[in-house]
Chains A and B, each alone.
Chain A
Amino acid sequence: MAHQIVATGRSRTGIPTGRLAVWWIIGSEIVIFGGLIATYLLNRFNHGPSWSAEAAHTNTFIGAANTFWLLTSSLFVVFAHAASERKDANKTRMWIWLTIMLGGFFMGFKSYEYATEILHGYTIFTSNFWSFYYLATGLHGFHVLCGMVIMAIIAENDIKNERNWHRVENIGLYWHFVDIVWIFLFPLMYIAK
Chain B
Amino acid sequence: MAEVVHVEVGHGEHHDDHHELSFWSKYIFSTDHKIIGFQYLFTGMAMALIGGYFAYVFRMQLAFPGSSIPFWGTLSPAAYNSLVTNHGTIMIFWVAMPVLIAAMGNFLIPLMIGCDDMVFPKINRLSYQIFLLSAIVLLASFFVPGGAFGGAWTSYAPLSAKAQYNSTPFGAPLWLTAVTLEIVAFLLGGINFITTTMNARAKGMKMFDIPMMVWMIVIASILFMCSVGPLVAGAVMLLFDQTLGTAFFDANAGGDPVLWQHLFWFFGHPEVYVVLLPAMGIVAEVTCTFARKKLFSYKLILYSSIGLGILSFFVWAHHQFISGVDPRATYLFTTTTLLISIPVAIMLFAFVATLYGGSIRFTTAMLFALAFTGEFLLGGVTGIWLGSSGTDIYLHDTYFVLAHFHYTFVPIAIIATFAAIYYWFPKMFGRKMNESWGKIHFWGTIIGFNGIFIPLFILGAGGQHRRIYNFQNYPDLAGADMQDMRVFATMSLIVMLVSQIPFLINFIVSIKRGEKAGRNPWKANTLEWVAPSPPPHGNFGPVLPEVYRGPYEFSVDGREKDYWPQNEKP
Contacts and interface: CB of A to CB of B under 8 A. Distances in A.
A160 B399 CA distance: 63
8 contacts: A5-B117, A7-B116, A9-B9, A12-B200, A25-B191, A33-B229, A128-B246, A128-B255
A124 B117 contact: no
A12 B236 contact: no
B236 A24 contact: no
A12 B12 CA distance: 21
B192 to A, nearest CB: 8
B457 interface: no
Contact of B233 (A32, A43, A47): A32
Given A7-B110, A12-B199, 6 more contacts: A7-B115, A35-B229, A39-B234, A124-B240, A124-B244, A135-B237
B187 interface: yes
Interface residues of B, number: 58
A121 B247 CA distance: 17
A131 B246 contact: yes
A34 B226 CA distance: 10
Interface string A21-44: 100110111111111101100110
A163 B11 CA distance: 10
Interface of B: 5, 8-12, 14-17, 31, 110, 115-121, 187, 191-192, 194-196, 198-201, 205, 225-234, 236-237, 240, 244-248, 253-256, 259, 263, 266, 537-538, 544
Contacts of B119: 5, 7-8, 10, 17, 21
Contacts of B9: 4, 6, 9
A192 interface: no
A9 B110 contact: no
A61 interface: no
Contacts of B198: 12-13, 15, 20
A139 B233 CA distance: 9
Contact of B199 (A1, A11, A43, A132): A11
Contacts of A34: 229-230
A111 interface: no
B230 A20 contact: no
A32 B180 CA distance: 13
Interface of A: 1-13, 15, 17, 20-21, 24-25, 27-36, 38-39, 42-43, 46-47, 50, 124-125, 127-128, 131-132, 135, 139, 163
Given A3-B16, A8-B120, A139 B199 contact: no
Given A27-B226, A128-B247, A35 B232 contact: yes
B232 A131 contact: no
Contacts of A20: 195, 198-199
A13 to B, nearest CB: 5
B5 A6 contact: yes
B233 A36 contact: yes
A184 to B, nearest CB: 14
